[in-house]
Amino acid sequence: MKQSPKRLVIILAATFPCFAGADSTALTLDSVVVTGSRVEHKSFDLPAAIDVVDAERIGADQAKVNASEALAAVPGITVQNRQNYAQDLQISSRGFGARSAFGVRGIRLISDGIPASMPDGQGQAATFNLDRAERIEVLRGPMSSVYGNHAGGVIQMFTADGKGAPSVEGNFSAGSNSTWKTDLSAQGEIGGVGYVIDASRFSTDGYRDHSSAERDQTMAKLTFKPSQDGKLTLIANTFKQDAEDPQGLSWSAYQKDPRSVSQGALDYNTRKSIDHKQGGVTYEHSFGNHLLQFSAYAGQRSTIQYQSIPISTQKSSVKQSGGVIDFDRDFSGASGRWIGRFDLVGGRLTTTVGIDYEQSTDDRRGYENFTGSGVPPTCSANTCGVKGKLRRKEEDSVSSFDQYVQAEWQGERWTFSGGLRHSNISFKVDDNYLSNGDDGGNVSYSETTPTVAALFRLTPTVNLYASAARGFEAPTFNEMFYSGGGGSFNFGLEPSTSTHYETGLKAFVGNDSRLDVALFHIKTNNEMVVLSSTGGRTAYQNAGPTVRQGLEIAFDSRWANNFTSRIAYTALDAKYDESFTFKTPFPIQTKTVDAGNHLPGVAAQTLFSELVWRHPASGFHAAVEGIVRDKIYVEDTNTEKAAPGYAIANLRFGVDRKFNGLNLRSFVRFDNIFDRQYVGSVIVGDSNGRYYESAPGHTWLAGVSARYTF
C-alpha cells in the first residue's frame, strides 16, 4: 500500500478545521431516539453511546442495497462488505460478531419493532428495507444488554409512516460490474389510513468471479388510529435472493488475482437461495402519561445452500451431513410492555416492564452435493453442484422467553437509570435420520443481566455519563450444528458472559458542532471462537477470557459557506486474556493461542471522515469520504498473514431540484478513486487458509429518482 493509514489519518483530521465560522445547513446534532431506554429521548441526554443514521445519510448517493453503505460513519461498528451476497455483511460491535462466518450474530437487529434476529441471536441485515428507512439507531455498550441475548449492540431500523398527500416515487441506479437497481414506491394518507408500498429489484455480476446475485424486495405498511389515544401499525415484507458464493481466497491467490475464486467453488457451483416472508402488527395506547405497547409477528424462510464440501470428506464418515443445506423455517413472536411516567422527588420517573417471546422451527435436511457413486471422489467422475442423496433430516426448534424491568429518574442535573432482564433460551433437536445414530437432544441456557447508568449535566452543553452491565451470549444453532467439523451437534458449547463498563462525554461545541466520546472496558468469559472452517461449514468451541477496551469519537460540524463534516474514529484493543490450546480436525493438529493474542476479525483502528458542500440555490452537492482501517488478524494464533490495513477515498456528487409537485434527484459516486487493492473482509479461522475476501478497486455508480406529490 503506497499510502499508510497513519498518514491519511493525519491528512483527514487536519482537513476539517480549515473552515471558520458557521452557517445553517442540513445537519441534525441532537436526534430523538428510542433505542436503549425504549422511550423517546434526545440522544444528547441518554447515558449511552448511540448514533442516529438519518434518511439523508442512508441514501447519500447510494443504491441503498447494503447496510454497510449507511453504517460506515458510525464509530464502534465495523461493517465489512464481503462482496458475497450469499453470506451477507459481516457486522461487529466492539468486536462482538466479528467471528461470524455468515449473517450477523452478537448484535440485536430490529426493524420497525419486529426482530430481524432469530431467537438464538442469528440475524440477516439484508432483510432491512433501506429504500423506505427513515432512520437507523445504533446502540453500543452496556445499555444494549437490556435487549437480552446477543445484545453486544443493537441496530434498529425505522421506516417512515405514510402521511400527507399521496405521492409516487421511482428510482434507478446502475454502475460497475453490471450492477443495477430499480425501486418503485407509493405513500400517503387516505381517510386517516397511512400507507407505504415499496418494491425493488437488484442485480449484479459481482466484483469477483462467481459472485453474481439477484434480489427482489417488497414492503407494505399501514398505520391508522382506531381511537384518539391508540395507534395500530401493520407491516409485511418479502425478500428473495439468488446468489453465487465465491468463498475466500488464499493469500497467494489474492495477490495473483483478487477477482478469482477457488476451484472448489466452481466445481460445486457454490450458491445460496433465500425466500423470506414475514408480517407483523404493533399497537400502542396511551393512558395519560402511561403507555401500553403490544406487537406480534410471524414469518417463513426457505434456504438452500450448495457448499464445496469435498466428496472424500462426505464419504469419510456416516456422521457427515453432505454438502447441501436445505431448510424451511417458521418463526413467530410476541411482546408487550407498559411504560409509566411519574413525578418523584423533584424529578421525573419513567418505568418500563415488559416481556418478549420468540420461537422458530426448522425442517432441516442435508444432501450430498453430487450424484454418482462417489468413487473415485472427483467431480470429473461424478456430477457435482447438484442435490444428491439425503444425509440429514431433523427438526430444530429454539425458543426464548425474556422478562425485563427498567427505571429512569431524571432530575435537573442528574439522571439515574437501571434495568434487569432475565433470559431463557431453549434448543431442541429431533433427529429423523437415524441410519447414522440419533443426534437429537436439547439444551437450555438462562441468565439474568443487570445494567446501571448515571448522567450528569456539567453545563447546559456538556453531559458526562457512566454505565455498567452484564452481558449474555448463548451459542446460535449455526454454532452448534457441527462438532469438530463433523455432522453431530455440539451441545457442549457454553454461553459467553461479559461485564461492560463505559464512561463518556457529550458536548455541543459552539452552536454548530457536537462531540461524542466513549471509553469502554469489556471482560468476557467462555468466549466462543472458531475451531475449524472449511467449505462454508464452521465449527466452534469455547475459549478462555478476553478483554476488549477502546475509544470511540464522533465529531459533527456545520461550517461557513454550506460545508458540513463528520469524523468517526474507533480504537479497539481486543485480546485473549489467557492462553489455551485446541485441536483442529481438518487437518488434525494441536495449536496454542497465547495470552495477549489479538481477536481475529477485529481492526485496532478505524477512521471515517466526510466533508460535504451544498449549494442551496441549485440543489447541487459534492462530498469527499475517507476510510482508514488497520490490519485484521485472520485466526487465533495470529501467525497467518493478517489482512493489511488500507486507506481509500470516495467522491460523490448530486443534484436535488423541485418543480411544483415534482422532485428530481440524480447522483454519481466514485468509490476507491485511487484504485487501491485491499482485503474488504476475512473468513475467520478458515481451515484451507482461504481467509481473504477481496474488495473492489475503482468503481462507479450513478442514479436518478423522481417523486411526484399529487
Q: Is 459 helix (H, G, I), strand (E, B) or coil?
A: strand
- DSSP result, 615-657: ETTTTEEEEEEEEEE--B--STTS-SPPBPPEEEEEEEEEEEE
User: Which DSSP category does 74 fall into?
Assistant: S
Amino acid symbol at 642: A
In angstroms, the Cα distances linking 657 to 183, 288, 439, 616, 709 are 19, 43, 63, 10, 14
pLDDT given for residue 535 in this prediction: 57
Angle, vertex CA 124, rays to CA 121 and CA 129, nearest 5: 130
pTM: 0.91
Domain spanning 5-709 has what CATH number? 2.40.170.20
pLDDT digits (tens, 9 = 90+) for 347-379: 999 999 999 999 999 999 999 999 999 999 999
Alpha-carbon radius of gyration of the chain: 25
Half-sphere exposure of 396 (CA within 13 A, CB side): 21
Amino acid symbol at 43: S
User: Which DSSP category does 10 fall into?
Assistant: H
pLDDT given for residue 10 in this prediction: 39
C-alpha cell at 359: 420461537
d(CA 267, CA 150): 36
**Residues of the chain falling short of pLDDT 70:** 1-27, 151, 483-488, 534-537, 584-587
**CB distance 177 to 211 below 8 Å:** no
**CB distance 494 to 425 below 8 Å:** no
Buried residues in 678-704 as b, exposed as e (16+ CB within 10 A): bbbbbbbbbbbbbbbbbbbbebebebe
pLDDT given for residue 135 in this prediction: 93
Domain ranges of the chain: 5-709
Amino acid symbol at 679: V
pLDDT given for residue 168 in this prediction: 98
Residue (of 239, 341, 356) closest to 290 by Cα position: 341
- DSSP result, 457-473: EEETTEEEEEEEEEEEE
Residue (of 622, 670, 621, 667) closest to 649 by Cα position: 670
User: Which DSSP category does 252 fall into?
Assistant: H
Q: Measure CA 251 to chain center.
A: 26
pLDDT given for residue 22 in this prediction: 36
Half-sphere exposure of 277 (CA within 13 A, CB side): 4
Sequence-separated (6 or more) residues with CB below 8 Å from residue 172: 180, 181, 182, 183, 703, 704, 705
Half-sphere exposure of 241 (CA within 13 A, CB side): 28
pLDDT given for residue 38 in this prediction: 83
d(CA 157, CA 143): 18
d(CA 195, CA 224): 9
